[in-house]
Amino acid sequence: MNAVSAVTAPYDAERVRADFPILAQQVNGHPLIYLDSAASGQRPLAVLRAVERYETHHHSNVHRGVHALSQAATEAFEGARERVRRFLNARSTREIVFVRGATEGINLVAQSLARPRFGPGDEILITGLEHHANIVPWQMVCEQSGCALKVAPIDRRGEVDIGRLLELLTARTRLVAVAHVSNALGTIVPVKRIIEAAHSSGALVLVDGAQAVPHGAVDVRELGCDFYAFSGHKLYGPTGIGVLFGREELLEEMPPWQGGGDMIRTVSFEKSTYNELPWKFEAGTPNISGAVGLAAAMDYLESLGLEAVAAHEQRLLALATAELERMPGIEIIGTAAHKAAVLSFTLRGCHPHDLGTILDSEGVAIRTGHHCAMPVMTFFDIPATARASFGCYNTEADVRALVTALGKAREVFG
Ligand code: PMP
């Protein structure tokens, strides 16, 4: 994904906004200005309708039924898998595992790949800007297996120190786990470069793509990553559904991580044998309507054009950055050269939670807190930030509303 894309056709954000019914409401007597898409995107009508259609006409359990509804549900679910394969340009649907979200995808790799294979003397390398979902599963594996966790630091702009990362990448490194985009800072991490370096050093790479997939096309073959995890709800799809892409050769060698229905071939009390990919990793009844909704979200986003969306968001980010830079007392946290549509900041003398409450009273929804990235807050020596994040439906008017509401907060705290 690129930070800046050249786009010629005008992008009609007002028309896009009209596709999202939830945005047409008033909050605290003001029109809702939703600037929290990094936490969760809203769903367009196309997604809501696809889920409703599935639930109304096609639902049954998948895979084992011979009756018509079960076959319809299986077709819808496996069709969604093929849709995801195309979205990521993966080789095969055998490489697409449905999970609950990015968190579960990362835990799957931690427990199924790292736990049985890594031990004392082995290292897992992450970076200083990771979300807790890409820290804690590795800490758990380190406790379980005796391997060690190394952290490549970030600098004051919120960029990964690639020089230090390359120094930390040694023959002991078995896996590099890195965010494609930081949720707390917006930094776009040069993952392709990291993947190439890791591979030439003999390490595997997992990319946490939770914040990247809504902001640009991701091609797992072009990236060359071994694993790529993301959540449906940040991509304008439902919650409770996500994807783990894994290279087939690796998934093939990995043991299942949860046991139950669907992941087996045969079961006896003496021994069970396992299903083939990708079902080996999908124990229990899956989130069928979630997968259907996710596929619809991908259709929707591609109909807007990922490049056009990214270029629009970059314009909003540039506008908001310029406006906030001009406001005394505001400090932008995360000033990397390449950022996705995330703007973290603090207001002198005002706790971010108070700021968030004032903005909410103006109908402006931002997120405040540590954004599940406490080590990032520790690095910048702050307890929390306020974070505005932009999606395909945000407009320049939203940025102006943010600036006006911030002006009011500055009158209170300035
Ligand atoms: N990684 C990053 C970078 C994220 O922003 C998030 C969600 N905030 C996650 C992982 C976890 O996603 P989920 O909670 O949907 O599993």
Q: What is the pLDDT of residues 22-68, one digit of tens each?
A: 999 999 999 999 999 999 999 999 999 999 999 999 999 999 889 99
Amino acid at 53: R
Q: How far is CA 183 from the centre of its chain?
A: 8
Q: Name the maximum alpha-carbon separation found in the chain.
A: 72
DSSP state of 255: P
C-alpha distances in Å from residue 190, one per residue of 184, 242, 343: 17, 23, 19
Can you read off the two tokens belonging to residue 267?
Answer: 């079961």
Please, what are the domains in the chain?
13-31+305-413 (3.90.1150.10), 48-302 (3.40.640.10)
First to last CA, the chain: 39
Look up residue 33 and give its DSSP letter: E
- Three-point CA angle 236, 182, 37, nearest 5°: 25
Pair of tokens at residue 39: 């936490």
Separation CA 268–CA 276 (nearest Å):
18
With a 6 Å cutoff on the Cβ, whether 215 touches ligand 1 is: no
Please state whether beta strands 204-208 and 173-179 pair in parallel, antiparallel, or not at all (unpaired).
Answer: parallel
Distances 408 to 273, 327, 365, 390 between C-alpha atoms, Å: 64, 12, 15, 21
How many whole angstroms separate alpha carbon 342 and alpha carbon 186?
5
What stretch of H or E contains 228?
strand 227-231
H or E element: which one contains 163? helix 162-168
The model's pLDDT over 222-261, given as tens digits with 9 standing for 90+, comes to 999 999 999 999 999 999 999 999 999 999 999 999 999 9
- From the list 28, 377, 27, 346, the residue with the least C-alpha distance to 355 is 346
Ligand 1 atom at minimal distance to the Cα of residue 133: 10
SS3 405: helix
Pairing of strands 272-274, 367-369: unpaired
Structure tokens at 279: 């079902």
Strand 264-267, strand 385-389: pairing:
unpaired
Q: Whose CA is nearest to atom 5 of ligand 1?
A: 183
H/E segment holding residue 176: strand 173-179
Residue 372 C-alpha to ligand 1 middle, in angstroms? 8
**What is the whole-number distance in angstroms between the Cα of residue 71 and the centre of ligand 1?**
33
Which H/E stretch holds residue 77? helix 68-88
Atom of ligand 1 nearest to the CA of 105: 16
Predicted structure pTM score: 0.97
Crossing angle between the packed helical segments 45-53 and 288-304, to the nearest 10 degrees: 150
Tell me the pLDDT of the chain (414 aa) as tens digits.
654 444 456 899 999 999 999 999 999 999 999 999 999 999 999 999 999 999 999 999 999 889 999 999 999 999 999 999 999 999 999 999 999 999 999 999 999 999 999 999 999 999 999 999 999 999 999 999 999 999 999 999 999 999 999 999 999 999 999 999 999 999 999 999 999 999 999 999 999 999 999 999 999 999 999 999 999 999 999 999 999 999 999 999 999 999 999 999 999 999 999 999 999 999 999 999 999 999 999 999 999 999 999 999 999 999 999 999 999 999 999 999 999 999 999 999 999 999 999 999 999 999 999 999 999 999 999 999 999 999 999 999 999 999 999 999 998 886
Expressed in angstroms and rounded, the spacing between residue 210 Cα and the centre of ligand 1 is 5
